[in-house]
Structure 1
Amino acid sequence: MTVTTPATRNMITDYYDVIASAVRRCGAVPGDAPGTPGFAPGFDLPELTPAVREFYAAATVSWSPLGHYGGHDLTVLDLTANPGTRTTKTFASMVIVARAVEHIRRTGERLCIVTPTSGNKGVALRDSVARAYAAGLVTPEQLSIVVLAPAATRHKFRHDALADPATRAVNPLLRYTGADPEGVKALGRAFVDEYAATAYDKHGVTLWYTLDLRNYLVADAARAAFEADVSPATGSRWHAHAVSSAFGLLGYNLGRDVLEAAGDADPAARPGFLLVQHLGTPDMVLSLRHGSFERDHCPAYTLDESRGVWTQDADLRFPAVTDDPAEVLDPTFYTHRPVTSPAMNALVRRHGGDGIVVSRRECVRRYPVARQWLADAGLTLPEDPARLREWSILMALTGVCNAVDRGLVPAGHEIVVHGTGSYCDDFRIAEPDAEVSTLADVVAAVLDQR
């Protein structure tokens, strides 16, 4: 069934029961004891009081028709409505913070979220913590957050409410200056592993390292509930998503598992999936197509000196033209060899789908049409694509159009584009509280300031 008018819901409060069922379905349980490296609170969420509903108010999602392309109906699942983030990370971040709020309410313990991030996850968690303060659910003394992000994504961080002098000291934004952006993960993990006991014993604070797949799956399960609510799949549908590790699509599939088990969705009608990536990290597409992350499966590009571009025509699933065969179109997509690839590969094999890699040149060529489509759906992109600071939606739409043009999408299939992120240079960039490259730097910036 294709919806011809936009539909909007709150993806958390309207599907609270589905999120709870997703927790049970994936066997999510609390972690280790407070003060240990493996601590994680339970998955219980607060009762939906007026204050909690105020906290969740920005978790809106919409389903809007985009039009037709190459014989296919296109729809956007817009996950970018929160003005504090403009990305899909809003939903999981709110659920993570809500779990922290409920844990604090039940135990009286003080928590500090620690998250490495390429950008959007950290922005959304900071936004959610600030919203919890504003709604009166917790105080900065009870809940705080440490965000560790690579220098390459500084343009993604907006000056936010946590930069206020009253809250800044306990909510540091750390800029990682190491050579490998993905190094934030190991550094964040090492900090919690080595200093969880110190933070607890000396400062009375429990550190919570939140980079766990289940923290994201349970919130993203609500995407499937929203789809079933407003436009149930009929079996001839693909979902397209710009991915780094595909947490969002795995969460969607967890939601489908919940709905199908309850008899609320037809297992035979589960959609297929189109994974869209950039040349900087095409790992999931390589794994899907070749069963390997090795770059020797990428096509060889030839420099066209007359045009100053690199070209290839050997692989339909890679850009025909690019400025750089290793181009980083958006540094938010920074994960190499994602552990989620086997699960996503299995879903594509079972339900259909494909993978495709796009370049900046391809995205810019599609930009005028994509911008008009999105404007008709209520999403505003700047006239000049050079102003973009987040390319996820444009990547996904470009991947869809390329896949259609190259005959990769079965005839008659409608395509749902997950609008997971889009923002431009219309905000003030946040200044970090410290630049770090070593564990000692992180300790000095976090614990020595308490």
Structure 2
Amino acid sequence: MGKANQLALVIALARYYDDIQCALRLIGAHHRSTTFDPGFTLPVMDARMAEFLAPSRMRLIELEPYRDRRLLLLDLMGNPRTRTTKTFASLVIVARAVRFIQDTGQPIVILTPTSANKGTALRDAVLRAITCGLVTPDQLRIVTVAPADSLPKLWSGGLDEDPDLAARNPVALYHGRDAAGVKELVRWYMETCAHEIERTGVRVWHTMALDNYRTGDVARAYFENEFGPPDPAVPRLHAHAVSSAFGLLGHNLGRELVAPPGSPPSRYLLVQHLHTPDMVLSLYTDGVRDEDRPRYTRDPATGLYHQSDNDHFPRVTADPYERLDSTFYTRRPVTSAEMNALIRRQGGGGIVVSGHECAQRHPDIRSRLLSAGVPFPSHFDDLRERSLSMAMTGVLNGIDRGVIREPEVLVHGSGSYSRDDFRPLPMARTTPVRTADDLADVLRGMPRSGTGGGTPHVAARDGSVVARTR
């Protein structure tokens, strides 16, 4: 297999900073919220902001073709402290909080539910804001709430390795029956308990909203338009492993803002797994009914399940309801209707993949990615984040089955890391929660401004911890 061709590498959020600010103003003009948000203005760009945005690396790579299809990779995994695209939205979210703090002097606590990656990226962005001198540890803090079974995917870092920062930035583990219950738990806390901490002068920002995430992803469209604009005569499909498709909605918003008149609309391929294939089901059936899934037959000789009636679902799987990656846990996402309309109007589709298919494709995918300089482990089972594996498998399967007819596919490389790429967060550095009152106790236990005790610490730029004098 020939070497991949790297077409571009940029620090995207710094390069398109003014464009992102324009997108924020556009969204902010129509945004309505019943809870606090810090506004839609970014800090003035200076050396500290440029350093803060440095992890927002984005590159475009041409991979080896597959069955005469041109394959491109949009690598969004350039932050070594997250290895996912959540870095982009998280940096924008934290930058908005920084601007509010600079303008008002009021401290903010970011509160977010997460399946893992969003929490890791937001914690890293908060850490960067502190280490770059944009805010102090008293001014900006974060509380993340993750399902207990996501613990193996939560990264350890500077916010949990220093006792003072760990106390100010706790991680709560939700031990309810359904992983998606973290969203309801945080929503219920905001409705019933958030006023308690806000009476102390601290603003609580619940960041789980589409408007908070898609603005970071508009940078994808600006980057594409500058370094790899689609040929109007060659339809391009954008493939993305999705839970709620925030990234694709952000890319589409960016295309609306930057694409020259007459440019072809973007076509989108949703890639999901069998545990939550809700967006793909909704696209093709307008519902999320179990009876619309294909029926699988178990082969007693292998223990595997087979079906051949639906090209949008795996032909072979170890489990018809397999959970391939805990990151993809959202059921009936509110974004389905918007994505359905986009795909039906502009083109695209959806496909569901299985672990068996990803493992079978792994050697070929690994060879393509390694030639592009993208780390990928020798064995599929070593992957802890499988977004890129799912997207690539979905594309190759889709081409084989005729689901994909476009001559060009751009794969959004939204996440990939193996067990050797990070240190998991220890259970001892988390707090169990089940109810809104439990979560309220977590926030009550956070040190108040100026009450850290002893010498405050701050994480250095490499993630280690150093003392900071007053």
TM-score (norm: length of structure 1): 0.95
Q: Match for residue 307 of structure 1?
A: 302
1:341-360 aligned at under 5 Å gives the runs 341-360=336-355
Q: Match for residue 230 of structure 1?
A: 227
Q: Match for residue 169 of structure 1?
A: 167
* CA-CA distance at 1:158 after TM superposition: 1.3
1:370-449 aligned at under 5 Å gives the runs 370-410=365-405, 413-426=407-420, 427-431=422-426, 432-449=429-446
1:21-60 aligned at under 5 Å gives the runs 21-28=22-29, 38-60=35-57
Determine if the alignment matches structure 1 residue 337 to structure 2 residue 332.
Answer: yes
Alpha-carbon distance in structure 1 between the residues aligned to 2:446 and 2:99: 26
Corresponding letter in the other structure for 1:6: L
Q: Match for residue 6 of structure 1?
A: 7
Alpha-carbon distance in structure 1 between the residues aligned to 2:27 and 2:115: 26
Q: Match for residue 459 of structure 2?
A: none
* CA-CA distance at 1:22 after TM superposition: 1.7
Corresponding letter in the other structure for 2:187: R
* CA-CA distance at 1:441 after TM superposition: 1.5
Corresponding letter in the other structure for 1:183: G
Q: Match for residue 239 of structure 1?
A: 238
* CA-CA distance at 1:293 after TM superposition: 1.4
Q: Match for residue 105 of structure 2?
A: 108
* CA-CA distance at 1:266 after TM superposition: 4.1
Alpha-carbon distance in structure 1 between the residues aligned to 2:446 and 2:412: 40
* CA-CA distance at 1:190 after TM superposition: 1.3
* CA-CA distance at 1:433 after TM superposition: 2.5
For 1:262-297, what per-residue CA distance to the aligned partner results, in whole angstroms no more than 9, with x for missing partners? xxx244412211110000010110111111111211
Q: Match for residue 219 of structure 1?
A: 216
3-state DSSP of counterpart to 1:61: strand
Q: Match for residue 293 of structure 1?
A: 288
Corresponding letter in the other structure for 2:288: F
3-state DSSP of counterpart to 2:16: helix
For 1:162-181, what per-residue CA distance to the aligned partner results, in whole angstroms no more than 9, with x for missing partners? 01112111100111111100
Alpha-carbon distance in structure 2 between the residues aligned to 1:165 and 1:415: 47
Confirm or deny: 8 A CA contact 1:30 1:43 kept in the other structure: no
Q: Please give the root-mean-square deviation of Cα atoms over the aligned residues, in Å.
A: 1.4
3-state DSSP of counterpart to 2:193: helix
Q: Match for residue 83 of structure 1?
A: 80
Corresponding letter in the other structure for 2:308: D
Confirm or deny: 8 A CA contact 2:145 2:173 kept in the other structure: yes
Corresponding letter in the other structure for 2:189: F
3-state DSSP of counterpart to 1:145: strand
Alpha-carbon distance in structure 2 between the residues aligned to 1:353 and 1:320: 21
* CA-CA distance at 1:4 after TM superposition: 4.3
1:44-193 aligned at under 5 Å gives the runs 44-163=41-160, 164-193=162-191
* Equivalent of residue 204 in structure 1, options 175, 196, 201: 201
Alpha-carbon distance in structure 2 between the residues aligned to 1:193 and 1:334: 23
1:234-273 aligned at under 5 Å gives the runs 234-235=231-232, 236-260=235-259, 265-273=260-268
Alpha-carbon distance in structure 2 between the residues aligned to 1:289 and 1:31: 31
Confirm or deny: 8 A CA contact 1:31 1:38 kept in the other structure: no
Corresponding letter in the other structure for 2:216: A
Alpha-carbon distance in structure 2 between the residues aligned to 1:378 and 1:195: 48
For 1:83-140, what per-residue CA distance to the aligned partner results, in whole angstroms no more than 9, with x for missing partners? 1100000000000000000000000001000000111100000000000011011111
Confirm or deny: 8 A CA contact 2:28 2:40 kept in the other structure: no
Q: Match for residue 465 of structure 2?
A: none
Number of aligned residue pairs: 438
Alpha-carbon distance in structure 1 between the residues aligned to 2:126 and 2:215: 19
Q: Match for residue 454 of structure 2?
A: none
For 1:348-392, what per-residue CA distance to the aligned partner results, in whole angstroms no more than 9, with x for missing partners? 111111100000000000000111111111111111211110000
Confirm or deny: 8 A CA contact 2:237 2:408 kept in the other structure: yes
Alpha-carbon distance in structure 2 between the residues aligned to 1:42 and 1:25: 12
Alpha-carbon distance in structure 2 between the residues aligned to 1:133 and 1:31: 29
Alpha-carbon distance in structure 1 between the residues aligned to 2:180 and 2:58: 30
3-state DSSP of counterpart to 1:26: helix
Alpha-carbon distance in structure 1 between the residues aligned to 2:80 and 2:57: 11
Unaligned runs of 5+ in 1: none
* Equivalent of residue 368 in structure 1, options 342, 363, 366: 363
* CA-CA distance at 1:438 after TM superposition: 1.4
Confirm or deny: 8 A CA contact 2:387 2:414 kept in the other structure: yes
Query: Structure 1 residues 267 and 355, CA, compared in 2 at 3 Å: closer, same or farther?
Result: farther
Q: Match for residue 21 of structure 2?
A: 20
Determine if the alignment matches structure 1 residue 321 to structure 2 residue 316.
Answer: yes
3-state DSSP of counterpart to 2:168: coil
* Identity in percent: 47
Query: Structure 1 residues 247 and 267, CA, compared in 2 at 3 Å: closer, same or farther?
Result: farther
For 1:12-32, what per-residue CA distance to the aligned partner results, in whole angstroms no more than 9, with x for missing partners? 111112212222333456766
Query: Structure 1 residues 297 and 275, CA, compared in 2 at 3 Å: closer, same or farther?
Result: same
TM-score (norm: length of structure 2): 0.91
Confirm or deny: 8 A CA contact 2:239 2:412 kept in the other structure: yes
3-state DSSP of counterpart to 1:445: helix
Alpha-carbon distance in structure 1 between the residues aligned to 2:335 and 2:423: 34
Confirm or deny: 8 A CA contact 1:374 1:380 kept in the other structure: yes
Alpha-carbon distance in structure 2 between the residues aligned to 1:267 and 1:433: 52
Alpha-carbon distance in structure 2 between the residues aligned to 1:60 and 1:66: 19
